[in-house]
Structure 1
């Protein structure tokens, strides 16, 4: 467990001083010493917890989400001078809604306010769980993934259309000039 040096206020100062073009800090360029793990967790439903209590302030959750970095199968909050490990139950983001398309690309929003276009840089993948349930994920940024909320996924299924690929039939969405599969259609 990390000593008492973890300070949300100090993190906020680092974020403000180091924000990039899109308002996101350049965490990919920061490689400070690992300071230890903190008792912070992102639950499967997207809720953030600190020391077992939900973080209720959306602005604070947004701030933390901008300095999130994944290395291998571990997640960290990173500043130029500090790197602390946190726990993520599934993926860090939940894709909560669909916005109007932009330049023929479908556009989505995460639970922390990131806008994501469905395209080659931000692909959609749908796997099937052991229980047979679809598990739809969208690449959000810098290797970080978001899981589509169940209601949004069902809404997309209603909007989807059949398409053929490699001799198989799929149900999919057209975005960025290509189809993205939501799943294979039964024969």
Structure 2
């Protein structure tokens, strides 16, 4: 079977949801059918056989059936599971809205596939430093084991909202959301 047939078969197997919720991919454990030539670039663009998938509804549909098993990303339906390549994170947080202020503040993010996520205990923020460039790479947990890379412009908004808090005797810059403090980085001297 060619990759083209696999994608068509995969699309046909996605259950048509009655409500707005995501399919229960965590409950599906079909046989692994191999990898397909599908990739999610660091900027959130989905590619199939080297060509960007330009139809947003199709990208949204595929994004609804992605799951991470260990270090591997898969698209899963009740009857088939195929591996795909993800350059960094499967989603990108492209906008931010802020409700409230101080410790009562809630940060609401929208991803490139229109998922809306409020940062908090179930959806933590974290910032990693690139080992080579030491550039910050901020992430938001969107779904179980799936993260969004926070777009640079959105990260700048977070930095503008940052406050100082002492953690283990050291001053850190960070943001509040959902009653939790999320460190961005050490307070510069």
Fold similarity call, TM over 0.5: yes
SS at the partner of 1:49? strand
Query: Which residue is equivalent to 2:178?
Result: 176
The structure 2 residue matched to 1:155, chosen from 149, 154, 157, is 157
User: Which residue in the other structure is 1:15 paired with?
Assistant: 15
Classify 1:145/1:20 alpha carbon distance in 2 versus 1 (closer, same or farther; 3 Å): farther
Q: Provide structure 2 residue ranges, at least 5 long, that are not aligned to the other structure.
A: none
Q: How many residues end up aligned between the 2 structures?
A: 185
Match of 2:139 in 1: 137
Q: 1:100 Cα shift? A: 4.1
**Structure 1, unaligned runs of 5 or more:** none
1:1-187 alignment, distance < 5 Å: 5-8=5-8, 11-12=11-12, 14-16=14-16, 19=17, 22-101=20-99, 104-130=105-131, 131-187=133-189
1:15 Cα offset (Å) = 3.1
CA distance in 1, matches of 2:2, 2:68: 19
User: What's the Cα RMSD here?
Assistant: 2.0
Normalised by the length of structure 1, the TM-score is 0.91
1:5-61 CA-partner distances (Å, limit 9, x unpaired)? 414465255231xx4865200000000011111110001111000011000011100
- Normalising to structure 2: TM-score of the pair? 0.90
The alpha-carbon deviation at position 177 of structure 1 amounts to 1.3
